Amino acid sequence: MTRSSLPPITQVTGGVEGFAASYPAMQELADRIASTAGRLRDHAAADAHALADPALVESAPLSPVTFAEAESRLLEAMTGAHGILEEAIGCETLALLIRAEVAAFQECDRLVAVSLRVLDDQLGEAAGYAARLSAPALVVAGLVAAPAWRLMSERTRRRLGRELEVWLDDHPEAVQHAVDGSGGLLDGLLGVPPIDPTVADAASDLSRLYPPEATPRVVRRRDLATPLGAVAPDDLTGLLRHLRQTNALSPADRPGDQGTIEVQRLRARREDGAAPDRYIVYLPGTDDPTAMPWSHDRDVRDLPADLHVMAGEPAAYTRGIERAMTRAGVGPRDPVLLVGHSLGGMEAATMLARGSGFRVTHVVTAGSPVAGMPGYPAHSHVLSLENRGDVVPLLDGRDNADSRQQVTVQFDDPGRSVLGSHRLGHYVHGAAAAEVSPDASIAEQLASLRAHGFLGSGAAATSQVFQIVR
């Protein structure tokens, strides 16, 4: 793609230029100002000692005029207008005001988030309650509408479908608020007291409709490989292209190959001395998003896996990824980059946020709902790509956190349908747009990936493909 044909980046949040990143800087400024106030007080104390200096006092009878002038100037410097004590008090007051302002901003952010969550939950509960009361009428309406829908021409049905997709593309916030209120909707439909205040709670309850997650079985697939497996990625676009190739190892028409992932080893160069090898783990997304409890099978990348991960619970896919990494030779101190699409990105973010026994330093997600993560380690990096027409990243019901560790890049590369906008090809385009973006937060994320040898290292690469099944 040429630079002019790249999809536009519509919003960037988080990172070194994010609003939340200014909070620590403001706190540091307040600390420096408070430290300055302390030094000014020390100078004032030194001036007080000078006033009582025996040599100065003994000189008073010899030169009363100059003694009085010296005393006056010391007092003025210490306690006069713009004196040391006044400046010290001013610095202390300014430091207190900055700290109070930061605390107020943080509390405001928290209150806004909580208020929106409570409002979405109450609206969802009201909608569920109304649907439960009007269930008979809805059944009758469905019976009446079904024949009318069948009588419509195929062209009319396609037009209505396109209009709905256009509306969803223009109003993504509606989908997000609807999902955020899903816990209340579930409570309203069931007619129970509020037991699902969050999306995670609702996902946890729904996951219990399925059989318990079984112990995963991990198989090395020597018959499968990707063309880019022996090539270290040059840039973010190459990284996403490689992920798309890994995703293609599990096509819908070959259900026996579902659950495949790739572990790529980037060998340390001789000039790096004792530096460890680096690993990139490529994690495709959901293979079966429509799995029902009665159709539960050996595929680990299905709807119950989505529900478990969204609820913050371990899934078979999670444990399978860890076992595959161990079998691939990844050690506990080896630097690891996890890159995932959809469910794969959720797994990657979860392994970083909640710990995995591996040294995960970087995560790249594509079309993944990862806003429910509890937070990331201080020096880690998370780059999240979201296509504006893709509803999957909205399924967590809220925006990603504005944190220094995570940068969320939203771009607009519409597909032919809502599901089409979720395809990895669009995220390859989004990665290319991010590569040329002047945004400082994006640039810092990419610079860190290069500095840690994950991008542009030119290292010798080898790969192993594993299949994870229940």
- Mapping DSSP to helix (H, G, I), strand (E, B) and coil, where does residue 133 land? helix
CB distance 364 to 383 below 8 Å: yes
Chain segment 419-461, per-residue pLDDT in tens = 788 999 999 999 999 999 999 999 999 999 999 999 998 899 9
Q: Which residue has the higher pLDDT, 462 or 275?
A: 462
CB distance 391 to 418 below 8 Å: yes
pLDDT above 80 for 170: no
Residue with tokens 């026996």: 256
What H or E segment, with its residue span, contains residue 35? helix 22-51
- Mapping DSSP to helix (H, G, I), strand (E, B) and coil, where does residue 18 land? coil
CA distances from 442 to 30, 37, 243, 434 (A): 28, 37, 20, 7
- Distance, CA of 110 to CA of 130 (rounded, Å): 30
- Mapping DSSP to helix (H, G, I), strand (E, B) and coil, where does residue 333 land? coil
DSSP letter for each residue of 182-200: HHHHHHHHHT-SS---SHH
pLDDT above 50 for 138: no
- Tell me how crowded residue 271 is: count the other CB atoms within 10 A of its CB: 6
Chain segment 286-307, per-residue pLDDT in tens = 988 888 777 777 889 988 888 8
Mean local confidence (pLDDT), 116-125: 54
CA atoms within 13 A on the CB side of 260: 26
- 321: which 2 tokens? 């990824």
